[in-house]
Amino acid sequence: MDSCIFCKIVSGEIPSKKIYEDDFLIAFLDINPMSFCHTILIPKKHFLNLEETDDQYLSKILIASKKIVKFLKNNISEIKGFNYLSNQEKIAGQEINHFHFHIIPKYKEGYGFNVSANIDNSFKNNELIDKIILKKIGNKDE
């Protein structure tokens, strides 16, 4: 993808602060971090989002995430936890159209990435869930 900023990072056209790289993936520090050592992990091959990403890449992303987290925890004693995040589509906050996975260290309660939501309860007890979604996904009780 010629215009994709992450593809340009993969090709070396745009510099980054790499902390991990293998044949399939690259991880680098976010230029607008939510916390110290906020890391972006991407497949080197361009995929728009999670559902388009090949399964082999998805499994490698989780394995690499584990390595990155262990490395960060072993080298930065102040880390108390992590957020793992991937947004899909603009409505969910995806800003760059290349599948990516955020690894966000947590140092202090209330700082960095925080989860809060306006909860939509209109879906509760919805026939759609019972009649369509559970059957399509596969419910082993049926």
Q: Which residues are catalytic?
A: 100
Dist. CA 33–CA 76, nearest whole Å? 16
CA-based nearest residue to 83, from 45, 111, 57: 111
Handedness of CA 83, 103, 39, 93 (dihedral sign): negative
Dist. CA 39–CA 103, nearest whole Å? 5
